[in-house]
Structure 1
């Protein structure tokens, strides 16, 4: 059965990383194998800056950024291929020329359309180089344009997949002819041929789309960490790896802000019970983490999630009336319109409390709107702690010395809001 591998920008950030990728793939001889690749390193950020420069006019800033992008990719080619750069250099130069042409053509169009027609070149460039290097290393490959495989609507920057059309386009990629299929993450295309992008975590989603349509055996996402953890290792000094959790548990963790796999990636895999494994490309012997159907291990280890720079709003009707369904509908509708997500929602007879990410450009208009019709109390610079599968002793230990400003709890999840000043530095998970 087909395996789908996904490699992010960190795993191909330069020529040395691409060599390591080739060495890794040489160890996996099973076919069929589909490899989904992101843009190199911070290329997407560079393309977004190039986009803004193009929309302001093709001045020196635009030309300098385009030339930097060209030089960086050609430097990787030269480092990999030495004097044998000819065909690969020609393909990279052709892509840079086409990127420049598209900026000229689309700079006057709406930004989301312009974005999708140009930012996609990061993945096209990276896969061109990676595919050529795998061939150089003795592995037969087939380069595929994801814009011709993943069919979407024209909702640019957050395109929706046409699953039936996509399944028809990818049919046959699971035949075993000895070649590795190399394609791009994050991008797709409309039936009319316009480029689209898939939004947040789009490359992981691309891998899931292809796996779903091919009835793959497994998806492996290769990262610079060995797997998934029960807390952010940068904030918790004794975070533990979760070697196995269920789709549902992973979705819960992602919903509450954990840096795991985005729910839209898990959905297509869960539908067909395709496991997702997270492995380290730096240490192939490290035990991986697997997300699948098995729920037996979900409650064995509590998981902790910190979300900082939070704002707590306590909203009350001005006429001292109940916070009934109609008022909650009105308030939450405004939240949706503002494009904000509430990490905590708690209600009482005469109040509704919301803990929100502090995005000023979205938060301030929302607060102004609510203040016009409700009495609003506000606290800024807060930290939201979410704990899955906690007992009372753990919650008491985590809250010691901290002032709880809001709290919500159900059978599986406990949430508390603390002043940010009381939550700095490294945390320790009590035994």
Structure 2
């Protein structure tokens, strides 16, 4: 059965990392195998800065950024292929030239459309180099353009998959010739051929889409950590690795801010009971973690999620009326239109409290809109703490010495909002 491997930007950040990727894949000779690859390192960030420059008024800044992108990718090609770099370098040069052409063509179009037509080149560049390197090392490979496989609508920067059209194209792949397939994460295209991107965690989602359409045996996401944890190990000094969790538990953790796997990645896998494995590309001996149907170990240890740079809005009717369903519908509709997600929503008789990410470009217009019809109070620089499967003693310990500004709790999840100034750089989960 087909396996799908996904590698993020950290795993191909430079020539040494790409060599390591080739060595890793050589240890998995079973076919069919589809390898989904992100852009190299921080390339997407560089492309977003290039996009801003293309839409700005400083041509010299744009040319400098484009040349830096070109130079960095060609340096990787040179480091990998040496004297035989010519053919791969030519393909990279052609992609950079096409990227430049698209910026010139679309710089006056609406930004989401322009974004998708150009930022997709990060994945096109990386997979061109990776596929050529694998072939050069003796791993028979074929480069495939994800824009010809994943069909979406025209919702740019957050495209919706046309599942029937995508399944028809993916199932048309001939995977029985012993070659692995290298394709891009994050990108697709409309039926008319306009590039689209799949939004947050789009590369993981790409792997899930392909796996779903092929009824794959498993998806493996290769990271620079040994697996999934009950908390961010960079922020919690006694974080515990989770060997197995269920799809439902993983979705709940992700919804509340855990850097686990985005729910949209899990849904197509859950529909076909395809397990998702998280493994370390740095340590193949590490056991990794598995997300699947088995829920028996869910909640064995409490999970802790921290969302920082939060803003609390308390919205009240100006006429002191109740915060009824009609007013909640109006407020939440404006929230959706602003493209913001509320990590915590708490309703009272005369107010609605919303905890939001502090994205100025989205938050400020929302506050202005609400203030025209409601009384709005605001508090910034907050931290939202979410605890899954925690008991009262744990919650008391985590809240000790901190002012709780908002709270929400149900049978298995508790959320509390604290001033960021009262929160430590490193947390500890009492056991």
User: Does 1:418 pair with 2:407?
Assistant: no
Distance 2:68 2:215 in 1: 41
Distance 2:112 2:368 in 1: 28
Residues 98-145 of structure 1 deviation map (CA, whole Å, 9 limit, x = unaligned): 112222222222222221111111111111110111011110001101
Residue range with higher mean Cα deviation, 28-37 or 157-166: 157-166
Aligned residues: 431
Q: Tell me which residue corresponds to 1:354.
A: 354
Q: TM-score, normalised by structure 1?
A: 0.97
Residue range with higher mean Cα deviation, 323-332 or 293-302: 323-332
Q: Tell me which residue corresponds to 1:199.
A: 199
Distance 2:403 2:174 in 1: 56
User: Does 1:339 pair with 2:343?
Assistant: no
Q: CA deviation at 1:344?
A: 1.0
Q: Which runs of 5+ in 1 are unaligned?
A: none
Q: Tell me which residue corresponds to 2:394.
A: 394
Residue range with higher mean Cα deviation, 303-312 or 365-374: 365-374
Residue range with higher mean Cα deviation, 379-388 or 218-227: 379-388
Distance 1:374 1:106 in 2: 39
Q: CA deviation at 1:280?
A: 0.6
Q: Tell me which residue corresponds to 1:307.
A: 307
Residue range with higher mean Cα deviation, 266-275 or 172-181: 172-181
- CA 1:397/1:118 → structure 2, altered by over 3 Å: closer, same or farther? same
Q: Residue 273 of structure 1: SS of its match in structure 2?
A: coil
Q: Tell me which residue corresponds to 1:291.
A: 291
Q: CA deviation at 1:374?
A: 2.9
User: Does 1:67 pair with 2:55?
Assistant: no
Distance 1:77 1:317 in 2: 61
Residues 143-173 of structure 1 deviation map (CA, whole Å, 9 limit, x = unaligned): 1011111111122111111111111111243
Q: Tell me which residue corresponds to 2:162.
A: 162
Q: Residue 83 of structure 1: SS of its match in structure 2?
A: helix
Q: Residue 428 of structure 1: SS of its match in structure 2?
A: coil
Q: CA deviation at 1:191?
A: 1.3
Distance 2:251 2:284 in 1: 26
Distance 2:127 2:374 in 1: 53
Distance 2:195 2:117 in 1: 5
Q: Tell me which residue corresponds to 2:278.
A: 278
Q: Residue 430 of structure 1: SS of its match in structure 2?
A: coil
Q: CA deviation at 1:175?
A: 2.9
Q: Tell me which residue corresponds to 2:190.
A: 190
Q: CA deviation at 1:305?
A: 0.6
Q: CA deviation at 1:221?
A: 0.5
Q: CA deviation at 1:174?
A: 6.2
User: Does 1:148 pair with 2:148?
Assistant: yes
Alignment of 1:106-255 (within 5 A): 106-173=106-173, 175-255=175-255
Q: Tell me which residue corresponds to 1:84.
A: 84
Distance 1:74 1:295 in 2: 47
Distance 1:352 1:154 in 2: 34
Distance 1:366 1:110 in 2: 21
Q: Tell me which residue corresponds to 1:99.
A: 99
Distance 2:377 2:47 in 1: 41
User: Does 1:19 pair with 2:2?
Assistant: no
